[in-house]
Every structure is written in structure tokens, then in C-alpha cells.
A = this chain, B = another copy of it.
Amino acid sequence: MPKISDDKRAARRAQILDAAWICFQKNGLHATTMGDIIRTSDLSAGAVYSYFASKEDLVFAAVMTSLSALRERLEPIVQTSPLPSPEGLVRQIAEVISDFTARDGYDLKRIALLGWSEAQHNDRLRIAMQGFYLAFRDRLADVAGVWKREGRLPDSASERDVAKVILSQILGFVVQSAITGDVTPEQVGKGMADLIGAASKD
């Protein structure tokens, strides 16, 4: 087997990452053994280790891959014009996150919880993850700026604080869904609309 093509390499990597996520979701990051992943990926130990040097590397890559996939889905929403209302935005993001779940046994919400937990004791992961969330929050602050100019938010509103609240609402949706399993994007949209009070339209 001489040099493998780049496409094939990428496909193998994806194959391993898929196997990893199947296992991680079922048993958690730590309870999953390399043996589990190797078995699930239908490759040999050596093959898996030729793509990821260690379990830690694999965990890192798996979390970052999920984050990247999420970013790709979120980007369009915060760039729509005209922008949705706050409750509309949150509802749309919640929908994207929920949709991810549907995809063949891949539950973004559970994955997110595993990643956050891991990041508490894994410096490399925490740094990378911080970068992701801070960048996304910056986009939300931009959105808040537009809302202000549109008169949806008072002039005294803090774009930074509004962005933090919106981000919290999204992260909280993920947690609550994962734990109680009974929260829908619609309910979140309705609840926010009720709270915001005005008969906001998307």
C-alpha cells in the first residue's frame, strides 16, 4: 500500500472520529476505551494510532470537529438580513442544535456536555473552546448592535451584556434539553417572547 490519497486519509480520519463519537455518546469520554473506538471503527489499533497519536488527541479532535460543524450551521443564522428578533434568533439556533441530534445517533447536546466537562481539566481543550465561544459571542454582540439600531433594544442597552444573555440562553437550552429532555425550540421562543413582553415578530 503505497502513499494513500489525501481524500482517503480524510475519509479514514472521519471514520475514526465517527466511531469515537458513537462510543463517547454511549459511554462518555473516559469510560470509552481506545479498544471500543478501534472495534467500532473497524480498523486496527495501529491504524487508529497512525491518525491520532493518543486518546487525548482523539478527544480533542472529536470535540473540535463538533464545534466546527456547529459553527458552520450557526454562521448563516447570525448573518441573515433582516435579522430575526431575539426570541426568533434563539429559537432558530435551538432548532439547528436539535436538528443535529436527529442525524444518525449523533446528539450534539450530549456531546457538548461531555466537551464542557472535559475542558474543565484539559487545558488545550479549554483554550480552544474559549476561543470558539468568545468568537461566537462577538457575533452575537454585533447582532445586538443591529437590534439597537433597529430600535428593538433601548439606547442604554449593553451589547456585550445582551450577547452574554443570549449565549446563556442557548447554552442553557442545551443543558436543560440534555437533562430533562422536554424542551423544544418553540417553547423557548414562546417563553422569551412572553418575557420580553412586546408582541415581537421574527
Contact = CB atoms under 8 A, between A and B. Distances in A.
Interface stretch (A22-30, A76-84, A97-105): A22-30
Contacts of A60: none
B119 A117 contact: no
Interface in A173-198: 173-176, 178-180, 183, 187-188, 190-192, 194-198
Given A30-B31, A117-B28, A194-B162, A175 B171 contact: yes
Contacts of A190: 158, 161
Interface residues of A, number: 59
Nearest to A115: B117
Protomer copies: 4
Nearest to A189: B161
B188 A164 contact: yes
A129 B180 CA distance: 9
B165 A168 contact: no
B116 A120 contact: no
